[in-house]
Structure 1
Amino acid sequence: MGKSQKKRSMRRHNPMRVPDSHLPKGLESAASTSPKNEAVLPIIQKLENPDASERKWACVAVSNLIQNDPSTRRLLQGKNVVGALITRLSDSEEEVWIEAAGALRNLCIDGGYDICAEMYNKNILAPLKAFVPKISSALSQFLESPKTAPENARKVVYEFTENVNTILWCLSETSNKALNAVNQINLVPFLMSFLAARAKLPIATVTAAAQCLYVLTDDNQPAIDELRSNAAYSTCLLEIVHDEGSVTGKDKEVFWDRMSTLKVLSSGILSNVSPFPPPSAASGVDVGKEIVLPLLQPVVASVSLTESSALAESLVVKLALEPPQIEKLSLKSAPKSDHRSDTEIELDRLENNLRTVQLALEILTGVCATLPDPDPISEVQEGEPDAEEDEDSDAEIEDDVTDGMALDDVPVTNGTATASHLPALVEPLITLIQPVRLSFPPAAGQSSHPPTTSVLSAIHVSALECLNNIFLSLSASPSPGLAAASASGKHIWDSVWAALGSVGTEIARGQERKQEMWEIGVGVLWGVGNIWKGNLVPNEDQVQLLIQLCNSSTDPAIRVKCIGTLECLAQHPQSIDANRVIAMHLLSILPTSTAPSTYGTEPLIQTLSALIDIYSDENLPYDINFRQGNFVQRLVDSVEGVRKAVRAIDRRKERDLKLRGEEMRDNLIAFIKYRRALKF
């Protein structure tokens, strides 16, 4: 079964905050859809103005112009706003480079990969690297002699630091090339200094440092080694996780929102870096079981997405009655980059709380991945022949017929989340995958509040990924008690289908998250189906949807998931008609004596596994389909095509697939012999 344990295909943890995929390509379309088109050129020009106050104003104006406005952001990007702002980071005036950092930070957060990649390519790391020792020096001075700098000066430095750390965090997620460059700055001691001094620093500044540290320690050995090397670091992180301190005053709720995020991030860092060597305080701690699960389960269970969506909608209506930000753009009254109304602050707070839930889900997904990584592929010498033995259909096969599913062959490690801890997570996750009103943008245009929509859809996807790993782990550690709880299986199965039904199959441009939900959701269905195989009654519409998705997808991994799920449904003993429909689809994937399979090698191998598994017991009621349909002859017709497909797999590049293909080829031949030998 597909191991989508810890996804590494894309590094970015947070999706684009204000997506622009609904917009047509090109600058002309950006100009035609931006309501602030006329304001863009003067701002770009003012970024180069000899007057420092105008340069500062232009930096601030960029932040205000792009707020929840992807078309204007794209238009500014087309006018090289990124390059102009990076130049301003080396400005002779302090206020200018402070505001430039704020604008770049907002572009990073709102714009995602493309803008971050552009910043990296335009060498933003050079000025950022120069800021690190300056920030360290100022921080040391403030901590040692708080009275040497007025509060306003400290506030400016803290906000600037937050912006720099956020940019470094986003760059670290952009690409491995950018991550390697960030590694050269040796940021771990710098970032840990904020966490160590958290009691004397603004919580937002500390949280930005923790976010950067969390990303840097995610599957990044240099940062992991650095954090492991100093026992004080893990002690500090453990203290944050266990902090139950109190704070009073009007900012109490906001502080604890931030503190909750900081605790979640600290648990994520500990999880990334674990296991810790002695004499670290965390060396004997089972981080997953003792820290992550107890801390994060309440976080994911505490939120109501329905209420959050309704609150966001009401705040958006309220915000619409307030003066638009663009009217405040004048040289006489230059807006501050942090100028926000109470309504905007409340919307930001709601978004931040939802981001914390998404972060918790992401960390839990990793902890629920209890299967080991595949062994490193041993290198095959250049020119070494690919050992391939062609056996004819009469060859003796010693192995019994097996289903060949990958998860059945993979042992469970002594991982941090044992199977007994996982079912308690399922119900809150089932709730979090159900779409609400603001979950996705409308078919045309954008959401009434893109940041809320972005985080809600990210929560749905993250919750599905977590469920996927849970059922993958439970499948790998079979429990007779769990398999017997067929009512639970049906409830979960129906709940996942309810979520996918709410998503629908009509997916417009800008609604790519819907497609992602289907792709991950089918993996969840496969995991659920595998645990309760034979107990789930196939639904005709669901079967047809899975067949359609299998046929329409060009991604082999999606096809494999669909085939695996259909295999589970086909094994409901009394559902003879559904079994026949599924079998005909599976047989259509096989090669013939004259034509190869058009579905790809991995789906073909999964199909062979499925057919052998479904019809390995001739006493089941649905086996009548196999006999009446003369399926054995169809399997015979596929043998040569299967041999060719397996022979074509490059052992150097796809060793595991090659081994599995050879196993399935042998199993197919043995299965045909077995079925031919049966007397009815």
Structure 2
Amino acid sequence: MGKSQKKKAMRRHNQCAFPIRIFPKGLASASGNIQKKTEAILPIIQKMQGTDAADRKWACVAVSNLIQNDPSTRRLLQGKNIVGALITRLTDSEEEVVVEALGALRNLCIDGGYDICAEMYNKSILVPLRTFVPKVSTTLSQYLEGAKSAPENAQKLVYEFADNLITVLWCLSETSNKALTAINEMKLTPFLMSFLAARDKIPLAPVTAAAQCLYVLTDDNYPAIADVRSDGGYIACLMSIINPDENSSMPNGKPAAECTDPRSVTLRVLASGILRNISPIPPPSAASAIDIDQDIVLPQLQPVISSISLVDASASALQLISQQESTPDIEKLSLKHAPKSDHKSSAEIELERLESQLRTVQLALEILTGACATLPDPEPEPDAPSGPAGDGEGDDDDEDIAEDNDNDDELPPDMDMAVDDTAMDTSTPGTTQALPPLVQPLLALIQPTTLSFPPLAAPSPHPPTTSALSAIHVAALECLNNIFLSLARSGASIDAAGGRAVWEAVWAALGVVGTQTGLGQERRRAMWEVAVGVLWGVASVCRGSLDPNPDHVQALMALCDDASAAVDTEAQLRVKCIGTLECLAMSPAASSVQANATIATYLLSMLPSAATPVSPAGTEPMLQAAASLIDIYSDEGAPWDVNFRGGAYLEKLVGAVDGVKKAVRAIDRRKEGGRELRRRGEEVRDNLIAFIEYRRQLRL
């Protein structure tokens, strides 16, 4: 079972400096006809390149609004080189046009994803952005030194511009290694930390954006990590965000400890994540003696994930949606009229606030997922220098099964009959002991709500809330996956009742998710993929305590069959399913003997044979199936061993040996992961041969 890796945080949409609504539902509400849409956006493109500054500003605002929740319009605009046009406007002679162009680019980054960010980078967006950083930094310093001298509107404009600038840089840093390298060269750490240091004097929006950007930059990126580590003041600032002084205050004038703005919670979560990213903190900082995970991440983030009820959040969202729909939209505008300001209703404001709270929980789960992944991946053993990568070993053909049963040689007492993950115990006992208290709040977060997974026939009434809820369910499962992986590899155990409770809770969540597939249902699939890893971990820790439910067995088999052996991620899904089935097959209950036979027959079908020399399941799942069969029947005294003898499994395993050998020889070490897979394949092959000899010697 593999660790769930840290995921990039979901980007949240934010309006640009002057949010304007041109159409209530974008161009999609006007017509579904592509030709009409194309005709409608032409005036926007023309005005953006016009001589009138007011028209250029209007066009930037229009683009910013039209891309929201309307991918088809965004693609049409992209086809008209809207990215290049907006980047050109970043050097416009009118300041307001620059502000609106950057706001539109920000929204394109958030709504368009990595492809548009890559296009921006390729069209040299960093050239003008580099000039903005020192200008914003200088203006911010002037405001902090004498805020009274600048008009309030001017300050608001600068802070919103800074928010947009930082968000674009954050999104670009996730685009590619080339973009990240270019952003590293900009040395943004002092710029970003200046916002965090001034958090009690400026609005929270740019402060949170700066923290988010720094969190992304310090994620496995040594230049940014070194920059933060190099200044003790930076670390002290981050520590003060987590543990605010009694006298510190936020921009609203309230003490920091009493601030109820959800972004203040987000800021603390991000500070915890940044400290985790840069750990271990080197001396002479006082924080160097702190265990970041134990003393900061877990105490700070466990209350965050425990503080929200997703059922209540879903109900509140539905109520706000109903309230919003009952309020008539008094603005009926067209492209012929100048845009008017967008005064959000109280329902819209509350929905955005709710989404912000949900995204903060998602972010906390993302950081906890990394904290729960306490085990390093096993280092692959070096290959013997016997030949070029991908070639077979010369002694493979000599490892044949003896045809007679008169061999009385006994196996060495330390013969490893199966590939055992628990043998690679490199965990930190203290961390493992601290993880189980997280399980209960995580189980609450994996249970879907009414808004989490709407059916294909009934799209979500509020996609942002649905996206946030489903992301939380998946992130909570990823945390659970790493927790139980850590427990399994450390040899730790939990009581049978607790294990069964987790097992049933995961299946209950999957029962609500269902198996519906199709466009827009990708999160359902993600739930199953991560949940099977959790099930494998729970079954491993509670091996022998879980009675196999026939419905669960059939569901795991169906999911395994549905996965494509040709895709690496799907092969991993099959491996998880097989590992879980293996654990279920080893239940000592008398009623489980039939389930054992069902599972064994299924696993045997994945092995090569004379009739099917190549496994239909793929190499990696086939190796897992072979290893699982060895594990299941390594104890001839087990009650389910009657199936092995009565089903002639030994003969079937003998018939699979040649196919296993050929599959192992065919593994190309030059491919990504090939070296480790080859090592594992050789181990399974050797264990299979030894296991067959062992069973023959038993003469049962």
Query: What TM-score, normalized to structure 1?
Result: 0.91
**Which residue number corresponds to residue 392 of structure 1?**
400
**Which residue number corresponds to residue 618 of structure 1?**
636
**Which residue number corresponds to residue 609 of structure 1?**
627
Secondary structure in 2 matching 1:418: helix
Answer whether contact 1:203 1:255 (CA < 8 A) is retained: no
Q: Tell whether 2:434 aligns with 1:426.
A: no
**Which residue number corresponds to residue 576 of structure 1?**
593
User: Please, which of 552, 557, 565 is the counterpart of residue 547 of structure 1?
Assistant: 557
Greater shift after overlay, 519-528 or 323-332? 323-332
**Which residue number corresponds to residue 224 of structure 2?**
223
Alpha-carbon separation, structure 1, partners of 2:46 and 2:529: 45
Greater shift after overlay, 656-665 or 608-617? 656-665
Alpha-carbon separation, structure 1, partners of 2:225 and 2:284: 16
- The 3 A distance-change label for structure 1 pair 423 and 123 is same
Structure 1: which 5+ runs fail to align?
A: 19-26
Answer whether contact 1:534 1:571 (CA < 8 A) is retained: yes
Equivalences for residues 53-452 of structure 1 within 5 A: 53-243=54-244, 245=248, 256-324=261-329, 327-328=332-333, 333-336=338-341, 339-375=343-379, 384=388, 388=393, 389-390=395-396, 391-394=399-402, 398=412, 400-402=414-416, 404-405=418-419, 407-414=421-428, 418-444=431-457, 446-452=459-465
Alpha-carbon separation, structure 2, partners of 1:476 and 1:516: 24
- The 3 A distance-change label for structure 1 pair 155 and 548 is same
**Which residue number corresponds to residue 22 of structure 1?**
none
- The 3 A distance-change label for structure 1 pair 94 and 247 is closer
Secondary structure in 1 matching 2:461: coil
Q: Tell whether 2:662 aligns with 1:644.
A: yes
Secondary structure in 1 matching 2:332: helix
Q: How far off is 1:380 after superposition?
A: 8.8
- The 3 A distance-change label for structure 1 pair 381 and 276 is farther
Greater shift after overlay, 391-400 or 513-522? 391-400
**Which residue number corresponds to residue 548 of structure 2?**
538
Alpha-carbon separation, structure 2, partners of 1:202 and 1:247: 8
Secondary structure in 2 matching 1:461: helix
Alpha-carbon separation, structure 2, partners of 1:649 and 1:31: 50
For residues 373-420 of structure 1, give each alpha carbon's deviation from its aligned partner in whole angstroms, at most 9, with x where no partner exists.
4437869989746572322235996474546445323222438x6111
For residues 191-242 of structure 1, give each alpha carbon's deviation from its aligned partner in whole angstroms, at most 9, with x where no partner exists.
1111112111111110000000001111112111211111211111011011
Alpha-carbon separation, structure 2, partners of 1:184 and 1:164: 17
**Which residue number corresponds to residue 671 of structure 1?**
691
Alpha-carbon separation, structure 1, partners of 2:605 and 2:348: 56
- The 3 A distance-change label for structure 1 pair 441 and 577 is same
Alpha-carbon separation, structure 2, partners of 1:141 and 1:311: 42
Greater shift after overlay, 41-50 or 225-234? 41-50
Alpha-carbon separation, structure 2, partners of 1:399 and 1:83: 70
RMSD between aligned alpha carbons? 2.7
Answer whether contact 1:64 1:326 (CA < 8 A) is retained: no
Q: Tell whether 2:610 aligns with 1:593.
A: yes
Greater shift after overlay, 649-658 or 522-531? 649-658
- The 3 A distance-change label for structure 1 pair 376 and 507 is same
Answer whether contact 1:17 1:112 (CA < 8 A) is retained: no
For residues 437-478 of structure 1, give each alpha carbon's deviation from its aligned partner in whole angstroms, at most 9, with x where no partner exists.
111243046421111111111101101111100100111112
Answer whether contact 2:143 2:155 (CA < 8 A) is retained: yes
Q: Tell whether 2:9 aligns with 1:13.
A: yes
Answer whether contact 1:401 1:671 (CA < 8 A) is retained: no
- The 3 A distance-change label for structure 1 pair 405 and 298 is farther
For residues 347-390 of structure 1, give each alpha carbon's deviation from its aligned partner in whole angstroms, at most 9, with x where no partner exists.
11111110000000000000000101443786998974657232
Answer whether contact 1:65 1:326 (CA < 8 A) is retained: no
Q: How far off is 1:662 after superposition?
A: 1.2
Q: How far off is 1:32 after superposition?
A: 3.2
Q: Tell whether 2:567 aligns with 1:561.
A: no
Secondary structure in 2 matching 1:272: helix
Alpha-carbon separation, structure 1, partners of 2:323 and 2:259: 21
Return the letter of the residue paired with 2:3. Answer: S
- The 3 A distance-change label for structure 1 pair 60 and 17 is closer
Q: Tell whether 2:496 aligns with 1:503.
A: no
Return the letter of the residue paired with 2:518. Answer: A
Secondary structure in 2 matching 1:649: coil
In the comparison of the two structures, how many residue pairs are matched? 662
Alpha-carbon separation, structure 1, partners of 2:44 and 2:576: 50
Alpha-carbon separation, structure 2, partners of 1:379 and 1:639: 22
Q: Tell whether 2:535 aligns with 1:525.
A: yes
**Which residue number corresponds to residue 25 of structure 2?**
none
Answer whether contact 2:427 2:486 (CA < 8 A) is retained: no
Secondary structure in 2 matching 1:510: coil
Q: How far off is 1:679 after superposition?
A: 3.5
Q: Tell whether 2:2 aligns with 1:3.
A: yes
